[in-house]
Amino acid sequence: MSCLIDRSYLGKIERGEVNVSLDTIERIAVSLKVDAFELFAGHNYLLDEDKRDILEKINLLLTLQDNEELITDLRY
Q: Where are the domains of the chain?
A: 7-75
Q: pLDDT > 90: what percent of the chain? A: 1
**Which residues have C-beta within 8 Å of that of residue 14, sequence separation ≥ 6?**
none
> Which pLDDT value is given to residue 28?
87
- Predicted confidence (pLDDT) at residue 46 exceeds the cutoff of 80: no
> Which pLDDT value is given to residue 10?
84
**Quick one: 35 exposed, middle or buried, by C-beta within 10 A (0-12, 13-18, 19+)?**
middle
SS3 category, 50: helix
> Which pLDDT value is given to residue 66?
66
Q: Are 25 and 59 in contact (CB under 8 A)?
A: no
